[in-house]
Amino acid sequence: AQRVTQPEKLLSVFKGAPVELKCNYSYSGSPELFWYVQYSRQRLQLLLRHISRESIKGFTADLNKGETSFHLKKPFAQEEDSAMYYCALSVGGSNYKLTFGKGTLLTVNP
Amino acid sequence: NAGVMQNPRHLVRRRGQEARLRCSPMKGHSHVYWYRQLPEEGLKFMVYLQKENIIDESGMPKERFSAEFPKEGPSILRIQQVVRGDSAAYFCASSPPGDGLNTIYFGEGSWLTVV
């Protein structure tokens, strides 16, 4: 069975510093990877997906199949980036049956 | 578009009672999904429904849990004879008709506490 691991439960950085939220997965095939974000008192929303290869709100993530990782990066963190971030994967070509990691709470300090 | 609406947002039930959680998908969405998040865990897929059909219930516990999405009205996740281990956040999501590759949109969740 597939699994998603987010090794950091909490991550704290200062405004303007680079940030990297780690995500590792285990799956023998070719999964699709996602990052979801949940801002305070808001619903979970899709931040980006690896097949889109896009940058959203300055965040990027590259799928590294060799290391089975999909780390989320931003060169200069902003206070409004403070949120809970979840890495997720889907298999079999359908993106409704997501396997989520436990999440990382990012706090960006002024 | 108001987004995926879930109610109640918080529900307290005594052991042995029934819990019913409701989900109204976004306008134009005909696919509904339920996820459960146990304390300190990630969200886990439970079931995927379309109108009057259960498409994938591979994540549903074998007993006491059921889900429906009737022709009219919201989707309902029903938990019978609740136990303390059912205490969790239950998230509903929806997506428009398509080939399963559309983005799914989550509701704000319903928190069930079993006392």
Mean of the per-residue pLDDT values of chain A: 92
CA distance to partner chain A, nearest, from residue B20 (Å): 21
Quick check: A15 pLDDT over 90?
A: yes
Chain-centre distance for alpha carbon A10? 13
Confidence of residue A96 (pLDDT cuts 50, 70, 90): confident
pLDDT of B2 strictly over 80: no
Mean pLDDT of A58-84: 94
**pLDDT single digits (tens) B15-65:** 999 999 999 999 989 999 999 999 989 999 999 999 999 999 999 999 999
pLDDT at A23 over 70: yes
CB-count burial class (<10 Å; 0-12, 13-18, 19+) for B63: exposed
Residue-wise pLDDT tens digits, B71-87: 999 999 999 999 999 99
Query: Chain B partners of A21 at a C-beta cutoff of 8 Å?
Result: none
Cα distance between residue A31 and residue A84, in whole Å: 22
Q: Who among A45, A95, A100 is closest to B42 (CB)?
A: A100
Q: Do A96 and B95 touch (CB under 8 A)?
A: yes
pLDDT of residue A54: 78
Residue B1 has pLDDT above 70, yes or no: no
**Residues 53-92, chain A, touching B (beta carbon < 8 A):** 86, 88
Give me the half-sphere count of Cα atoms (radius 13 Å) on the Cβ side of residue B37: 20
Residue A90's identity, in one-letter code, is: S
Counting one residue from chain A and one from chain B, the pairs whose CB atoms sit within 8 A come to 58
Mean pLDDT of chain B: 93
- Interface contact A98-B45, CB threshold 8 A: yes
What pLDDT score does A53 carry? 74
Dihedral pair phi/psi, residue B85, rounded to 5°: -70, -10
pLDDT at residue B99, as a whole number: 58
